[in-house]
């Protein structure tokens, strides 16, 4: 019996095609909303407290290109997840460029969440401000987290501050009495935070004065303008009187010259 011969090799056309490499998934484009549809503040009192705190900081750092002051801006901290967001009432971040202006804040692009955060708090936001936000800001490495309760709904005194300790956990910032007023020292801003009724003022001990609010700044500008206008009127009046006197002298000299003839 003839020995069995090996079967011929499988034609190339019938061989299984090589396995294709796994298809790379292209991340879906995420639309990060610019608004959460909620009002900026609980009441006009809280709104004014927020604005009057934010504007002096914007003026203070207006000439510093690596300081960004934001207010009521949506901050996203996890790329690709638009649900991971928070909206600090006021925040300051050192390091990111001031320009261009942002509509939202993306932590993974900026490289930092914030160095300073203030929440103008109330009874209705107490649970979130004391719980969720405190833990989140701590985890995101926000050096200082402050709360101000302008109507003292639950905070008495109305100011409360936390600062990251050596272990990365928040520690309370002690409050003091300065000039008979409650005061908290912000090492991040190098300023004192002083409650003044339903407002939270920023005091610069180096200059010995408060940072002016937008309203105070407008009044200062108007006063300077009025003083300048008054000085211009006085200068114009003096110039007119001088011209009149010079004209009278010229007329007298002309008459004297005619009399001598």
Question: What pLDDT, on a 0 to 100 scale, did the predictor assign at position 35?
Answer: 85
**Contact yes or no for 145/161 (Cβ under 8 A):** yes
Q: What DSSP designation does 14 have? A: G
Question: What pLDDT, on a 0 to 100 scale, did the predictor assign at position 241?
Answer: 76
120 by DSSP, 3-state: which? strand
Annotate 185-237 with DSSP letters as a single string.
Answer: EETTTTEEEEEETTEEEEEETTTTEEPPPHHHHHHHHHHHHHHHHHHHHHHHH
Output the pTM of the full model.
0.75
Residue 177 Rama label (left phi>0; alpha psi -120 to 50; beta): beta
Question: What pLDDT, on a 0 to 100 scale, did the predictor assign at position 23?
Answer: 56
Question: What pLDDT, on a 0 to 100 scale, did the predictor assign at position 10?
Answer: 44
Distance CA 184, CA 177 (A): 9
Question: What pLDDT, on a 0 to 100 scale, did the predictor assign at position 40?
Answer: 65
Report residue 242: phi and psi, to 5°.
Answer: -65, -40
Listed residue (32, 40, 166) closest to 107, CA to CA: 32
Distance CA 50, CA 182 (A): 19
Mean pLDDT, 10 residues at a time, over the chain (261 residues)?
47 49 60 81 91 97 97 97 97 96 96 98 96 98 98 96 98 92 96 97 96 83 67 75 83 78 69
């Amino acid at each position: 019996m003839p020995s069995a011969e090996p079967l011929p090799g499988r034609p190339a056309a019938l061989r299984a095609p090589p396995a294709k490499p796994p298809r790379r998934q292209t991340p879906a484009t995420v639309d990060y909303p610019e608004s959460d549809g909620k009002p900026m503040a609980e009441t006009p009192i809280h709104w004014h407290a927020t604005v009057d705190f934010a504007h002096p900081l914007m003026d203070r750092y207006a000439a510093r290109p690596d300081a960004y002051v934001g207010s009521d801006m949506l901050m996203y901290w996890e790329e690709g997840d638009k649900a991971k967001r928070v909206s600090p009432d006021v925040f300051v971040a050192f390091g990111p460029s001031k320009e261009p202006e942002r509509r939202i804040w993306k932590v993974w692009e900026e490289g930092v969440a914030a160095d300073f955060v203030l929440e103008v708090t109330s009874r209705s936001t107490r649970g979130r401000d004391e719980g969720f936000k405190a833990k989140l800001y701590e985890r995101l490495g926000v050096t200082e987290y402050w709360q101000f309760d302008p109507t003292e709904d639950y905070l008495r005194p109305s100011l409360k501050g936390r600062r990251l300790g050596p272990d990365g956990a928040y520690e309370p910032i002690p409050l003091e009495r300065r000039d008979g007023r409650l005061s908290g020292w912000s090492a991040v801003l190098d300023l004192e935070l002083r409650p003044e009724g339903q407002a939270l003022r920023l005091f610069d001990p180096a200059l010995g004065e408060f940072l002016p609010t937008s309203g105070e700044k407008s009044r200062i500008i108007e006063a300077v303008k009025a003083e300048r206008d008054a000085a211009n009127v006085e200068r114009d009046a003096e110039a007119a009187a001088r011209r009149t006197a010079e004209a009278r002298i010229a007329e007298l000299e002309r008459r004297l010259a005619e009399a001598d003839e």
